Amino acid sequence: MKKITPLHIVSLCLFCLVLILACSKDFDSIVQDSFDFSFTEDHENDGFVFEATKTDFSLKPEKVVTTVAYFMKYSIENGKGYYLTSENDTIRQNDTIFVADFDMSFNYMPIDTGAHKVKVLAWDSNKLEKELELIYNTSYASFSFLLNKGTDDFIINSKNPVSATLLRDKDTGDPTNAGNQEFEVSYQLENGTGKLYLGDDSYAPGNSFVLPKGVTDFGYLPETLGEHRLTMTAKAPDGATITRELVMVVGNLNFTFRATAASTQVELDTNIAINIDLQTQDEESDVTYDISHSFSVGSEGGGTVRDQNGGVMDAGTFRPIEPGNYNFTFKDDVLGQRKIYFDVRDSNGQTKRDSVEIEVANIPFTFSGNAESNQVFVNQRTQLNFNIKSNGNTSNIEYFLTYNITEGNGKVRGVNGDNIQNNTDYQVGLGNFSLFYTPETLGNHKISFLITDNYGQEVGPVEIDLEAKQLELDFNASANSSEVLVGQRGAISLSLIEKGDYDGVTYELNYFITGGDGQLYNGNSPIAPSQYFTVTPGSFAYDFIGQQAGTYEISFLLRDSNGQILEEQVTVVVGNNDFSVTMTPSKATEFSNNPVGIIVNIDEVPDGANDTYSAFYSSSQNGSMMVNGVSYGPGENFPLSPGSNNITYTGLEPGQHNIVLSVESGSDVTRTANTTITFDQVDFTFTGGSQSSDISVGEITSLNFNISESVGSSDYTMRFTMNGNAIIKDSNGNVVSPGNIYNVPKGNFNWSLEGTDDGNISMTFYAKNDTGLEKSVNISVGVAAKDYNFTASGSTQQAYTEEEIDVNFNISEIGIGGDTYEMYFSVSGNNGSFLYSGTTYSAGESFTVPVGSFSGKYTGTTEGNHNITFTVRSSSDVEKTANINVNYEVYEEPFTLNISQSSQDKYINDPFDITAITNATSGHDPSVTYTMVFTFTGASAGTMRYKGITYSEGETIPLDYGSAPMQFTPETDESFVINFLIENSTGQSQTESESIQMFKRPTVSAKGEKHNISCGGLNGCDYQVRIYTCFSANCSEAYNGASLEQVEIRILNRGTNNWDTKILNYNDAKGSGVDRYFEMETEPSEGKLKYLDQPYEVRVRDSNGQWSDWTSGSVVRV
């Protein structure tokens, strides 16, 4: 800084002044110009070190003389400091300061604490002096220093949370330190070793480091167990220091360790997972961990344990492990139970153990089998299918099969045909395999199979039941013709079919004949009966020749090499009668439904055999045949006689009738005859139309028809089809239906049509005569629906939401009328409902309405223009609409809210009155409802009771309009605020908060003690029982500005065994300091104390009249 040294200037001025005086002719007058002056100052007495204190100086001459100069300087008698100019330049002690301005300010900068005494001297050029003594009381600027720990339990070798909080009221400091406001901190440790860490930087005990203002979070890393005492000193920038102490209890880092096997059993030579779960209390700790394993003494063998990376772990050897969850594995090829211990130790020397128990067991497998079929054939092999399944490691497992036949006889062979001996091991493989069994006897067979592995594990038996039966054969014999003449050959066909792939089976055939003299021939070679001869499967035939007429039965016996015999019989008729038949019609053409005579002639061979005959016919067209006055249809049998027979045939439909007659004689000979007759139709004309082509629903019109014949004569029927709905009746008034056939007369006739639904009715009528000729005519009738007019009008076009408006309607029918009507409504873009006949309907819901005038009420529930469309539909499906428009506005009822509480004192659990007053500023609509919800600022403080119902915070309370008194029950003795929200059904709401000042009940603290007093001298001690209501650990207390006035003490009197009650003034208590007690009794002998060791109860009463709860205890001896 710039230094002010005005010594030469002062010397020069004095020298000039001497010259002036020397040269002056009037020296006396100049001397008379020396005047006195005053010198004063003003400053704050108290300040802080390194904080500049402004000091104002004022020098006032009695008269200002231009030739007089003023000077000043200062010296410090006590303390260290200096002055600064307003430009922040330093003024050193004893530096002369030229006074240019009589009012000047300097700043005093103390650099140590204490009472600084500064003397300031002022003088003028006439040597007149004034001296001031200034006192500056300097102290350090206050600051706070807190040292806290983030946890009660510190962990060795882990960074544990410790925080230091440094706060200052003023930022004072040595100006030479460039305004640095950091604190210098150091610490020491007792009873332990460790280091503090700030981030990654460590600070050893005794080393200083700096901290900023605010909260600094350290990590304390203890290196030893036990109770560590940390003493930390903080030095502020101005030199102020505070020391704080922190006691830390250091324990081991806790960790959990668990070993869990995936199962209690594992198969031979198979890995099983063992879950290793190691969790530490502090994941950021530097503690390290090792793990090892061992087998218990009782384990039946050892095994291989591998870590999560597959590395083999040596038993008893520790290896490093990080906290986490791992899957180790265990495997062994020796059966038996294992108990494996796992030990984990940390770098602090802690060790924890867990164990798993695992049984090394056989590899289980399943064995199943069945026959390809349980129905088999004797001496034919059948396949047996087996399966061995195992989910384990079977690379070293071998399997052997043995069997035993417990029922029946047969042989078991392998796939290669090798014979497997009974009860002999036969090696098989895992999976599916097959064997073959050949039954040698008929009936039931039972075979038991067993599988054993090379470790002696057996599975089974699997039993297969079979039924052996004879071969399935299809053997048939039939005659190509069931009738032959005497001496003529008739072929007999035979077939032998095997129903399986049979191996090594041979067949033989034998036959015999009954019913006459006959024989079988193989070509021209006779086959002797009753002798077996060899045949092969397939189809073959022999010839039969009968030597006389009659019925022959040929029995065939087939025998296979297993002794099975099958029998077939064939019947052959040998006859010697024959005949021929002819059929001759009387004419080749005729009209339909007219009969034609036919002569049927039967010519017997030989003549005069006089056999009996039965016949039936078939025809390519519909017709009937009459024989001897009896009518027969196609396929019906009727009798004929030898020679000429007269019959008639009637064609029932036009066209060419191809007639086939089949005649069978009593000798079972059948002959046929054919003829052709053409039947023609009777022609006619068919016309029809409606009397009116356009009618309305319910109206009737006539349907007029005419049938005229041009050729022939016939009867007629009529049917019809119809598109549309109508009622059609015949000439007799009977309702007729489409698709049914009705008899109609020739000539003119009339039906009628009644329209039932609007639309076009298109009909086609078909007339048909007996000759099958059919003609049609189309008739169309237009049916118009019943019509009506529909109007709607609203009583107003403006309304509030939820307000009903009247709507008037009218339905006037046009024409015959008589319909019923339904109506519904719709609203474009808004919501509403419609009330009619006491029922409310939503949009789209239909309801019945009458003809004529009627009315209803519409209610709009949403704001906006309601374009309401009313739609009416008649029972004739005629639909009409009418519209009204109503603009709905939301009704709003603004209101004011006033909440008031009773003036009574409020105590916990004592209800008090609260009244809510609502006032609608524009008038109240009775349909508008009000609700209230109350909440608290902070925790819940009580419940509200309104109209006999208790409500909790946040529940909606239905509220009466106007004044609504209710009761609130506080559940706390702390003051609180109730927030009220009241809303009405028009969406308007008001809020108000009410502060509740609670009167807290006093609390009581008490203890009872027996004291020895006045001890000494010949009389010993006196004994006194006291009840304390205030003591060092606790004290009874009143709240809300109240004071304690009374205390009530109930104490058991051991002499009377009754409770004594005392009500005392609280101010009458004795004691000193915090101790306040009441003397219950004083006796010279302890045995005379009636309250010694007895229970007591105490409560206190405050000046508000409230009693505290009771507290209790027993008198103890001290």
Over range 88-107, report the average pLDDT: 90
pLDDT of residue 3: 38
Over range 1032-1055, report the average pLDDT: 90
Greater pLDDT, 581 or 1018: 581
Q: Which of 687-696, 743-752, 841-850 has the lowest mean pLDDT?
A: 687-696
**What pLDDT band is residue 49 in, cutting at 50, 70 and 90?**
confident
Greater pLDDT, 834 or 1016: 834
Report yes or no on 105 lying in a domain.
yes
pLDDT of residue 143: 80
Q: Is the dihedral of CA 147, 153, 157, 160 positive or negative?
A: negative
Give the range of the structural domain holding residue 504, as residue numbers without chain letter: 473-575
* Among candidate residues 996, 1031, 1053, the one where a domain is terminated: 996
Question: What are residue 1066's phi and psi, to 5 degrees?
Answer: -65, -30
Q: What is the CATH number of the domain that holds 550?
A: 2.60.40.2410
693/802 same-domain check = no
Over range 406-433, report the average pLDDT: 88
pLDDT of residue 4: 38
Helix (H) or strand (E) holding 20: helix 7-23
612/733 same-domain check = no
* Among candidate residues 623, 652, 680, the one where a domain is terminated: 680
**What pLDDT band is residue 560 in, cutting at 50, 70 and 90?**
confident
> The tokens of 224 are what?
């030893």
Cis previous bond, 606, omega within 30: yes
pLDDT of residue 487: 67
Cβ 42 vs Cβ 89: under 8 Å: no
- Please give the torsion angle defined by the CA atoms of residues 408, 411, 414 and 416, in that order, rounded to the nearest 10 degrees: -150
775/802 same-domain check = no
Over range 485-504, report the average pLDDT: 81
pLDDT of residue 1016: 72
Over range 1065-1089, report the average pLDDT: 90
Across the chain, mean pLDDT equals 87
Helix (H) or strand (E) holding 994: strand 989-996
pLDDT over 90 (residue 618): yes
Over range 242-250, report the average pLDDT: 90
> The tokens of 632 are what?
């027969």
Percentage of the chain lying above the pLDDT 90 cut? 48
pLDDT of residue 18: 42
d(C-alpha 946, C-alpha 445), whole Å:
92
pLDDT of residue 1086: 87
Q: 441-486 pLDDT, tens per residue?
A: 888 999 999 999 887 888 889 898 888 888 888 889 888 887 776 6
Report yes or no on 59 lying in a domain.
yes
**What pLDDT band is residue 1098 in, cutting at 50, 70 and 90?**
very high
Report yes or no on 1002 lying in a domain.
no
**What pLDDT band is residue 23 in, cutting at 50, 70 and 90?**
very low
pLDDT of residue 177: 62
705/755 same-domain check = yes
Question: Domains in the chain: how many in total?
Answer: 10
Tell me the helix, strand and coil percentages in the chain, rounded to 5.
5, 60, 35
Can you name the residues that pair with 48 across neighbouring β-strands? 139
Query: For the chain, how big is the Rg over CA atoms in Å?
Result: 67
Cβ 367 vs Cβ 308: under 8 Å: no
135/172 same-domain check = no
**What pLDDT band is residue 753 in, cutting at 50, 70 and 90?**
very high
- For 879-905, the three-class secondary structure string (H helix, E strand, C coil) is EEEEEEEEEEECCCCCEEEEEEECCCC
d(C-alpha 546, C-alpha 574), whole Å:
6
* Among candidate residues 869, 889, 909, the one where a domain is terminated: 889
20/123 same-domain check = yes
Greater pLDDT, 824 or 312: 824
Over range 273-298, report the average pLDDT: 88
pLDDT of residue 1046: 95
pLDDT over 90 (residue 141): no
801/864 same-domain check = yes
pLDDT of residue 33: 58
Look-up: residue for tokens 């860490």? 197
Over range 1081-1103, report the average pLDDT: 92
d(C-alpha 131, C-alpha 106), whole Å:
16
391/418 same-domain check = yes
12/120 same-domain check = yes
Cβ 242 vs Cβ 214: under 8 Å: no
**What pLDDT band is residue 932 in, cutting at 50, 70 and 90?**
very high
Q: Order the strands of the 194-198 sheet from edge to edge.
A: 143-149, 160-168, 214-222, 194-198, 201-203
607/692 same-domain check = no
1014/1071 same-domain check = yes
**What pLDDT band is residue 264 in, cutting at 50, 70 and 90?**
confident
Report yes or no on 2 lying in a domain.
no
Cis previous bond, 461, omega within 30: yes
Report yes or no on 366 lying in a domain.
no
Q: Which residues contact 119 (CB under 8 A, 6 or more apart)?
A: 74, 75, 76, 77, 131, 132, 133, 134
**What pLDDT band is residue 988 in, cutting at 50, 70 and 90?**
very high
pLDDT over 60 (residue 291): yes
**What pLDDT band is residue 1050 in, cutting at 50, 70 and 90?**
very high
pLDDT over 60 (residue 260): yes
pLDDT over 80 (residue 957): yes
Q: Which residues contact 960 (CB under 8 A, 6 or more apart)?
A: 930
pLDDT of residue 32: 45
Over range 604-624, report the average pLDDT: 85
**What pLDDT band is residue 292 in, cutting at 50, 70 and 90?**
very high
177/290 same-domain check = no
> The tokens of 244 are what?
């704080």
pLDDT of residue 371: 86
**What pLDDT band is residue 851 in, cutting at 50, 70 and 90?**
very high
DSSP string, 950-979: EE-TT--EEE-SSEEEEEEEE--SS-EEEE
**What pLDDT band is residue 429 in, cutting at 50, 70 and 90?**
confident
Over range 681-699, report the average pLDDT: 87
Q: What is the pTM of this model?
A: 0.32
Q: Order the strands of the 431-439 sheet from edge to edge.
A: 366-371, 382-389, 431-439, 410-413, 419-420
Greater pLDDT, 652 or 282: 652
d(C-alpha 380, C-alpha 373), whole Å:
12
Q: Which residues contact 845 (CB under 8 A, 6 or more apart)?
A: 824
Q: 500-555 pLDDT, tens per residue?
A: 778 878 889 999 998 888 889 998 889 989 899 998 888 889 998 887 778 899 88
